[in-house]
Amino acid sequence: MTIIIIIFDPQLTNMKTNAKIRSRSLPMKDKKFLVLSALFFFLFAAAMVALSVQPTSIFQARATVPSPTKSFVIAHYPTGGIVPVDGNIKVTVYIRDESGKVMANRGVNLSSTLSNVTILPSNTITTNENGMAEFTLSSAISGKAQVTAVDQGSNITIANSPSVQFGQ
């Protein structure tokens, strides 16, 4: 790096050139300091830009295990609270993670303690984009059926599961 120093010398006879130009090189330590200073400020500016941008979902951690307490099962009872024999009841399972966010594309297995309960479309289906899986239950006999929902990927049983009463 070269620094130009202009010195005015009154002894020069040429009026057009009233300045004598001398050059001096910086010592090696000064060059390193300037380069490192420039690098520091460049990296600082780049870090400020990177940290000011909101992270996208690509950079966010994804929950892989559902919460047994924040996930839940709802039985949609008819008026009167008892499902008639050979009648249908809709049961909806909602799968959530620990923060309460929906978990899409999770396999859910629904079972019942009452032996003759039919579960449609199947006893295992996948949650939709809202973390919801809908089942329809029916029974040819009367009785109380405790419904159990299990997330297949983690084998976690959903804690908030209802019972369904089938009767005359």
Q: For residue range 32-69, what is the model confidence (pLDDT) as tens digits?
A: 888 888 999 999 998 888 787 766 655 666 657 999 99
Task: Tell me 11's DSSP state.
Answer: T
Identify the burial level of 24 via C-beta atoms within 10 angstroms of its C-beta, where 0-12 means exposed, 13-18 middle and 19 or more buried.
Answer: exposed
Q: Say if residues 71 and 95 touch (Cβ distance below 8 Å).
A: yes
Q: Identify the band that residue 18 occupies on the pLDDT scale cut at 50, 70 and 90.
A: very low
Neighbours of 164 (CB within 10 A): 21
CA–CA dist 167, 135 (Å, integer): 19
pLDDT at 103: 93
Whether the pLDDT of residue 154 is over 90: the answer is: yes
Q: For residue range 133-144, what is the model confidence (pLDDT) as tens digits?
A: 999 999 999 999
CA–CA dist 136, 138 (Å, integer): 7
Record the pTM: 0.62
For the chain, which domains are there?
A: 2-52 (no CATH), 72-167 (2.60.40.10)
